[in-house]
Amino acid sequence: MPRPRVLTVCNQKGGVGKTTTAINLGAALAERDLKVLLVDCDPQANATSGLGISSKNLPASIYDVVVLGQPLAEVTVPLNHIPGMTLVPSTVGLAGAELELAELPLRESRLRLALDGLADYDYVLLDTPPSLGLLTVNCLVAADSMMIPLQCEYYALEGLALLTHTQALVRQSLNPALRLAGIVLTLFDPRTVLSSQVVAEVRRQFGEQAFSTVIPRSVRVSEAPSHGLPITQYDPTGRGAIAYRALAEELLMRDSLVAA
């Protein structure tokens, strides 16, 4: 099996749908018989709990991998309720990693090294915290591409320049191959004029870099993590599941173009 594609879901703004996208895009890819590893790189551990895994009493987590150098394959948690998907969990203890990493050799490349040689997966998805600290930098250094969720709200584009600047710095130094997978608009509410204005503005500024698929705001999407389920299982025929399947389709199209 060739090396997996590594995609990080990034935006230092909080609450824009990073974790929701990592979980549901991952599940939509897994539905298509792709092997997906979701790595929770956020001390909030929302991807971990949202997939029904309690971060208490875990024998090991991503902390042990990036700080202590434990092999990634030893800390994976199979998700028996989501065929094809596997998790590397996080815990609040990861919060300390930002400081600890600063003292360690190869502090920006530790996740990349941990992913080296991993061959059992088609996609590795990295969920990041809402910051541009060393954990996020490790994700950018480890990734082939970055997906940026933008919430359909007034301040959506604020901070985007800083994120793309960080991407440029990483490209100049540790990961010249880092691409933009695309911008995905999230939490779209068709009843508000503002939502449509944000979509229009992002399309005007970013054109093809924005995915055609827009993720709608849906109560079902926000409920799914409390059941430990992706939307593709919690409400398989609803708008949220349809949107995340369409996003997976678009991503696969774009990635196959890159490979060609």
Ligand X SMILES: Nc1ncnc2c1ncn2[C@@H]1O[C@H](COP(=O)(O)OP(=O)(O)OP(=O)(O)O)[C@@H](O)[C@H]1O
> Minimum CB separation from ligand X for residue 74, in Å?
26
Q: Which residues fall within 8 angstroms of residue 131, CB to CB, at 6 or more apart?
A: 12
Number of residues near Mg ion (by CB under 5 A): 3
According to CB under 6 A, which residues from 132 to 161 bind ligand X?
A: none
Burial class (CB in 10 A: 0-12, 13-18, 19+), 97: buried
From 42-50, 65-73, 102-110, 115-123, span contacting Mg ion (CB under 5 A): 42-50
The binding track of 5-34 with respect to Mg ion, each residue x by CB under 5 A or -, is -------------xx---------------
> Per CB under 6 A, does 44 bind ligand X?
yes
Separation between Cα atoms, residue 188 and residue 110, nearest integer Å: 36
> Per CB under 6 A, does 110 bind ligand X?
no
Token couple for 47? 């991807």
> Minimum CB separation from ligand X for residue 1, in Å?
29
According to CB under 6 A, which residues from 226 to 255 bind ligand X?
A: 240
Q: Kindly report the three-state secondary structure assignment for every residue of 65-81.
A: HHCCCCCHHHHCEECCC
Separation between Cα atoms, residue 210 and residue 161, nearest integer Å: 15
The binding track of 57-96 with respect to ligand X, each residue x by CB under 6 A or -, is ----------------------------------------
Question: Residue 34 binds which entry of ligand X, Mg ion, none, with Cβ cut-offs from 5 to 8 Å by kind?
Answer: none
> Minimum CB separation from ligand X for residue 232, in Å?
13
Q: Which residues fall within 8 angstroms of residue 247, CB to CB, at 6 or more apart?
A: 21, 25, 28, 184, 211, 213, 215
> Per CB under 5 A, does 90 bind Mg ion?
no
Q: Which is nearer to ligand X, 89 or 207 (CB)?
A: 89
Burial class (CB in 10 A: 0-12, 13-18, 19+), 115: buried
Q: What is the DSSP string of 32-51?
A: TT--EEEEE--TT-HHHHHT
> Per CB under 5 A, does 55 bind Mg ion?
no
Q: Which residues bind Mg ion (CB under 5 A)?
A: 18-19, 46
